[in-house]
């Protein structure tokens, strides 16, 4: 009896999980399917999940429109800002654990407080400042803003991690005749790997997926990011759902692959932070 | 940790002081860049925003001091109050949907054991996507014409296509649902971590005492999960209150202002109409509401932790 109830409960749980997975993944798979159908199959009734004659015409269409340049812009902004943020934030996180930094507590409050300021409310004054400084609509605008958003996260994730790595390990490396630089390169950075990966993956998702910063800080077509280019494309070809879904697929593939590869670090980074914080 | 040169001539205390000073210098040098970037890009614009809200600024041209004029005209406009109301509906509507879903997901992840990790990964996929791309995707799903996925599902139940996004009653719930679709699993990460902290022995003891599953949930899970639930509530509240990208992508604030939240009003006034004085006044109002929400949650969280510790 009890056993039976247990099995029923288990079956219900699996059924609910399967339903949730369909609701979550279904739309994404549908977009992929649409992107591979030719125009006269897209509106077929009843709808078909597997394209009859799969075609890459929508992807070719996007390439003809020059979307690959926006893709490269997005990649450039993302890589530059993440590399900078992880280097600067990781260094600060390390120093906050290992060195007697003046006003340490105030600095920690600063980094924590900045994380809770929604960056959106700062965009308008930032835009006015960037226009006056001549940074508006340049290749510098977005890396600066993305890096500044990611740095506090990198500080917090690496700081929490360095606090758990015994400093004896580094001292042993120095005693063994490693130079300071060698100790950093061979002992400290490998030791902080999970935190650095978590911070970098978070930074990648933030920078790559942003639309609102990119659309307000950059105007020139040749500086556009991929999401901005897609919204412009939609403005001109709003009914070209095949090409639009091809754009959705191109914009979504890199972050989803990154998430699947580094999910352990990302989930670990956020769950550790919430349990300890 | 800072290597002290072993010179026999310097007095011992002196060399320790030197080392401490050198340590502070190195520490400051290493922390410096991060602090400078954060202050320059996150703190200074906040002050500049307050300053600009007191000035008349159009199309990047500063036309001088305006006192509280921007705020006066803002609060005299009934649309502002409606936008604040819609922001609260959006924020708390999304919370009311996301938090129970995240809790259910976290419980399912725990019950499923090893397979639970697969479920969590699947549910998190939309969180890895761009909000504006998610909006574009859902616009296609919800397209009210034959062949659209949602319209086809309705058709199998014998219902006509529904144009949710251009219906003033349904636009807001639809936008909320799409925002929740992207974000609820993020809350499930934190709740799963919280559930992992609850000792399993408690459940065994409760089972021995003859508590039903419902009683175990209300007497063990909910009270011990409360701190994690508060963290989730605070993170999601701030994120939903400032959500603008999904709204830009799905409805552009329409139809007939029905999805114009304060965040969207800021976008419209500041970035589209380029009324930067008034836009900054909206940003200041948003900033203050954010502050009230953050302080409120910190207070709640502090009480909770203090009460248990």
CA nearest neighbour of A75 among A235, A266, A264, A253: A253
Domain extent, residue A240, equals: 67-276
- Those residues whose C-beta lies under 8 Å from the C-beta of residue B75, and which sit 6 or more positions away, are B81
Measured distance CA(A206)–CA(A147) in Å, rounded:
10
**By CA distance, what is B38's nearest residue in A?**
A148
* Residues B295, B301, B302: CA angle, nearest 5 degrees: 85
User: Helix count (H) and strand count (E) of chain A?
Assistant: 14, 0
CA distance A270 to chain B (A): 7
The rounded distance, in Å, linking the Cα atoms of B20 and B33 is 21
List pLDDT tens digits, range B135-159.
999 999 999 887 788 988 888 888 8
Smallest Cα distance from A3 to chain B, Å: 15
Q: Nearest-CA distance from A215 to chain B in Å?
A: 9
Is residue A38 one of the residues assigned to a domain?
no
Distance, CA of A70 to CA of A66 (rounded, Å): 7
The answer to whether B295 contacts chain A (CB < 8 Å) is no
Question: How many CA atoms are closer than 13 Å to the CA of A39, on its beta-carbon side?
Answer: 6
| Contact with chain A for residue B84, Cβ under 8 A | no
pLDDT, tens digit (0-9, with 9 covering 90-100), for B88-100: 999 999 999 999 9
Task: Single out the residue of A152, A147, A153, A123 nearest to residue A217, CA to CA.
Answer: A123
Please count the CA atoms within 13 angstroms of the CA of A43 that sit on its side-chain side.
Answer: 9
Return the residue matching tokens 């507590």.
Answer: A105
Q: Does A264 touch chain B (CB under 8 A)?
A: no
Instruction: Please indicate if any CB of chain B lies within 8 Å of the CB of A91.
Output: yes
Q: How far apart are CA B37 and CA A91, in angstroms?
A: 13
Q: Which residues pair with B275 in a beta bridge?
A: B58
Nearest to A251 by CA among A59, A10, A5, A3: A59
Q: Are B148 and B59 in contact, with CB atoms under 8 Å apart?
A: no
Query: Residue B146: what pLDDT?
Result: 77
Residue spans of chain B under pLDDT 70: 1-14, 303-309
Task: For residue A114, give the nearest of B3, B38, B193 by CB distance.
Answer: B38
DSSP result, A145-196: HHHHHHHHHHHHHHHHHHTTS-THHHHHHHHTT--HHHHIIIIIHHHTHHHH
Q: Is the ipTM of this complex over 0.90?
A: yes
Q: Which residues of chain A fall short of a pLDDT of 70?
A: 1-2, 273-277
For residues A128 and A44, what is the distance between their CA atoms, to the nearest angstrom?
A: 49
Q: For residue B210, which phi and psi values (nearest 5 degrees)?
A: 80, 25
Q: Check CB contact under 8 Å for A44 and B147.
A: yes
Closest alpha carbon to B83 in B246, B282, B281: B282
Cβ contact A209–B146 (<8 Å)? no
Q: Which residues contact A8 (CB under 8 A, 6 or more apart)?
A: none
Min Cα–Cα distance to chain A from B144, Å:
11
Is there a contact between A252 and B133 if contact means CB atoms under 8 Å apart? yes
Q: Are B134 and B177 in contact (CB under 8 A)?
A: no
All residues at 6 or more sequence positions from B287 whose CB lies less than 8 Å from its CB, including other chains = A117, A121, B46, B49
Mutation target among A118, A134, A152, A247 for the B interface, most CBs of B within 10 A: A118
8 Å CB contact of B270 and A124: yes
Cβ B123 vs Cβ B185: under 8 Å: yes
CB proximity A165 to B under 8 Å = no
Tell me the DSSP string of chain B: -PPPP--TTS-HHHHHHHHHHHHHHHHHHHHHHHHHHHIIIIIHHHHHHHHHHTEEEETTEEEEE-TTHHHHHHHH-HHHHHHHHHHHHHHHHHHHHHHHHHHHHHHHHHHHTHHHHHHHHHHHGGGGS-HHHHHHHHHHHT--STT-HHHHHHHHTT-----GGG-TTTHHHHHHHHHHHHHHHHHHHHHHHHHHTS-HHHHHHHHHTT--HHHHIIIIIHHHHHHHHHHHHHHHHHHHHT--HHHHHHTTT-STTTT--HHHHHIIIIIIS-BHHHHHHHHHHHHHHHHHHHHHHHHHHHHHHHHH-
Which tokens sit at A187? 């002992």
Q: Are A128 and B48 a contacting pair at CB < 8 A? A: yes
Asked if residues B96 and B236 have their Cβ atoms less than 8 Å apart, the reply is: no
Judge whether A144 and A178 are in contact, CB under 8 Å. Answer: no
Cα Dmax for chain B: 95
CATH code of the domain containing A262 = 1.10.3720.10
Considering the domain boundaries, does residue A164 fall inside one? Answer: yes
Q: Is B137's CB within 8 Å of A31's CB?
A: yes
Q: Could B33 and A88 be called an inter-chain contact, meaning their C-beta atoms sit closer than 8 Å?
A: yes
Per CB-CB distance under 8 Å, the chain B contacts of A44 are 147
Q: Does A69 touch chain B (CB under 8 A)?
A: no
Distance from CA of A89 to the nearest CA of B (A): 6
Contacts of residue B147 in chain A, CB cutoff 8 Å?
A: 42-45, 47
Is A62 inside any structural domain? no
Task: Give Cα separations from A70 to A240, A250, B99, B129 (angstroms).
Answer: 19, 11, 36, 17
Residue from the list A14, A88, A227 with its beta carbon closest to the beta carbon of B132: A227
Question: Contact, B301 vs B234, CB < 8 A?
Answer: yes
Residue at A119 is within a domain: yes
* A42, A101, A256 member nearest B27 (Cβ): A101
Q: How many residues does chain A have?
A: 277
Residue A180 lies in a domain: yes
Which residues in chain B are contacts of A125 at CB distance < 8 A?
45-46, 48-49, 52, 280, 283
Answer yes or no: is A53 within a domain.
no
Q: Does B130 touch chain A (CB under 8 A)?
A: yes
Q: How many domains does chain A have?
A: 1
Q: Is A40 part of a structural domain of the chain?
A: no
Q: Which residues of chain A make contact with B276, given a CB cutoff of 8 A?
A: 124, 127-128
Task: For residues A187 and A212, give the distance between their C-alpha atoms in angstroms, rounded to a whole number.
Answer: 39
Burial of residue A11 (number of CB atoms within 10 Å: 0-12, 13-18, 19+): exposed
Examine residue A15 and state whether it is found in any structural domain, yes or no.
no
What does the alpha-carbon distance between residue B291 and residue A116 come to, in Å, rounded to a whole number?
A: 9
Torsion of the alpha carbons at B101, A212, A199 and A155, rounded to the nearest 10: -110
């Amino acid at each position: 009896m009890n056993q039976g109830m247990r099995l029923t409960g288990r079956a219900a749980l699996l059924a609910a999980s399967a339903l949730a997975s369909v609701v979550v993944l279904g739309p994404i798979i549908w977009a992929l399917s649409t992107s591979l159908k030719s125009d006269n199959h897209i509106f077929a009734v009843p709808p078909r999940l597997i394209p009859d004659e799969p075609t890459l015409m929508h992807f070719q269409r996007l390439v003809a429109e020059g979307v690959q340049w926006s893709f490269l812009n997005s990649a450039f902004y993302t890589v530059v800002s993440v590399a900078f943020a992880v280097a600067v934030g990781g260094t600060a996180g390390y120093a906050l654990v290992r060195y007697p930094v003046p006003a340490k507590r105030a600095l920690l409050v600063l980094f924590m407080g900045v994380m809770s300021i929604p960056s959106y409310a700062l965009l308008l004054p930032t835009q006015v400042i960037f226009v006056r400084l001549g940074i508006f609509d340049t290749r510098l605008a977005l890396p600066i803003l993305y890096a500044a958003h990611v740095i506090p996260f990198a500080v917090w994730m690496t700081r929490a991690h360095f606090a758990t790595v015994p400093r004896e390990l580094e001292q042993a490396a120095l005693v063994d005749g490693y130079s300071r630089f060698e100790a950093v390169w061979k002992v400290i950075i490998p030791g902080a790997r999970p935190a650095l990966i978590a911070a970098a993956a978070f930074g990648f998702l933030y920078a790559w997926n942003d639309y609102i910063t990119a659309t307000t800080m950059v105007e020139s077509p040749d500086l556009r990011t991929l999401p901005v280019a897609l919204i412009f494309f939609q403005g001109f070809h709003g009914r070209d759902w095949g090409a639009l879904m091809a754009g959705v697929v191109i914009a979504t593939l890199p972050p989803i692959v990154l998430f699947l590869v580094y999910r352990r670090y990302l989930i670990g980074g956020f769950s550790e932070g919430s349990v300890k914080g | 940790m800072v290597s002290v040169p072993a010179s026999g001539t310097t007095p011992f205390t002196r060399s320790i002081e030197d080392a401490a000073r050198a340590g502070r210098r190195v520490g400051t040098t290493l922390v410096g860049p991060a602090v400078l970037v954060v202050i320059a890009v996150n703190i200074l614009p906040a002050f500049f925003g307050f300053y600009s809200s007191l000035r008349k600024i159009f199309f990047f041209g500063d036309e001088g001091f305006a006192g509280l004029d921007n705020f006066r005209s803002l609060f005299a406009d009934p649309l502002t109050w409606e936008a604040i109301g819609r922001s609260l509906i959006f924020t708390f509507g999304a919370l009311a949907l996301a938090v129970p879903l995240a809790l259910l997901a976290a419980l399912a992840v725990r019950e499923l054991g090893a397979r639970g990790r697969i479920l969590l990964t699947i549910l998190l996929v939309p969180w890895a996507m761009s909000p504006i791309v998610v909006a574009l995707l859902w616009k296609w799903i919800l397209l009210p014409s034959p062949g659209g996925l949602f319209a086809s599902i309705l058709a199998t139940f014998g219902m006509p296509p529904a144009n949710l996004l251009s219906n003033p009653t349904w636009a807001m719930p639809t936008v909320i649902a799409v925002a929740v679709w992207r974000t609820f699993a993020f809350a499930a990460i934190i709740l799963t971590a919280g559930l992992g902290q609850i000792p399993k022995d408690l459940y065994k003891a409760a089972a021995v005492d003859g508590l039903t599953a419902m009683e175990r949930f209300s007497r063990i899970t909910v009270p011990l999960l409360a701190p994690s639930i508060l963290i989730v509530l605070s993170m999601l509240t701030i994120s939903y209150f400032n959500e603008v990208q999904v709204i830009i992508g799905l409805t552009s604030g329409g139809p007939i202002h029905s999805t114009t939240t304060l965040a969207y009003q800021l976008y419209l006034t500041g970035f589209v109409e380029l009324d930067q004085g008034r836009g900054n006044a909206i940003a200041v109002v948003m900033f203050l509401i954010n502050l009230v929400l953050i302080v409120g949650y910190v207070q709640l969280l502090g009480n909770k932790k203090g009460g248990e510790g």
